[in-house]
Amino acid sequence: MNRPGDLLLSPWALVSVSVILVNDHVLKGAFGNTMTGKLSDVAGVFLFPLLLLSVLEVLRRKLAGRAAIAWSIAVTGIGFAAVKTVSPIGDAYEWVIGFFRWTAGGFRGELLPIVVFRDPSDLWVLPILFASYLVVTHNRTRAPQGRPSTR
């Protein structure tokens, strides 16, 4: 896997997407407890840096380097922490995602925000970013000459 955007085709990314889909569309409806909430957080925080890097790589048409990898991890961690702990940021996030859902649904129905449960204890999932870093660097780290490393 060494083409721009193919991080989203890694087995780890596919498992994360599957966990999010099953958890959000099946498990939360059946159980709706703390465990299902944390499971979405873990899978989402793991997946988001891979998504950011993939979009960046496709737009730039080249693999991401170390700076972009660090940026994607930092943006994910800071953004997640802000959404979970800073009310105005969490409110804005709810409306932005609500808008994306509304547009994806063909502008049918009312434009409504999603609901994010703001719980500072959710921040315990942030160490999963280290796993994201390992997956990304295993596939994307570049040697100083601009070629993918052969580690």
- State the pLDDT at residue 32: 76
- State the pLDDT at residue 14: 95
Q: Quickly state the pLDDT bin for 145 (edges 50, 70, 90).
A: very low
- Which residues, 6+ apart, have CB-to-CB distance to 40 below 8 Å? 19, 20, 23, 24, 28
* For residues 116-134, average pLDDT: 92
Residue pair 144/68 in contact (Cβ under 8 Å)? The answer is no
Q: What residue type is assigned to position 52 of the chain?
A: L
Helix (H) / strand (E) containing 106: none
Distance of alpha carbon 26 from alpha carbon 30, whole angstroms? 6
- State the pLDDT at residue 1: 60
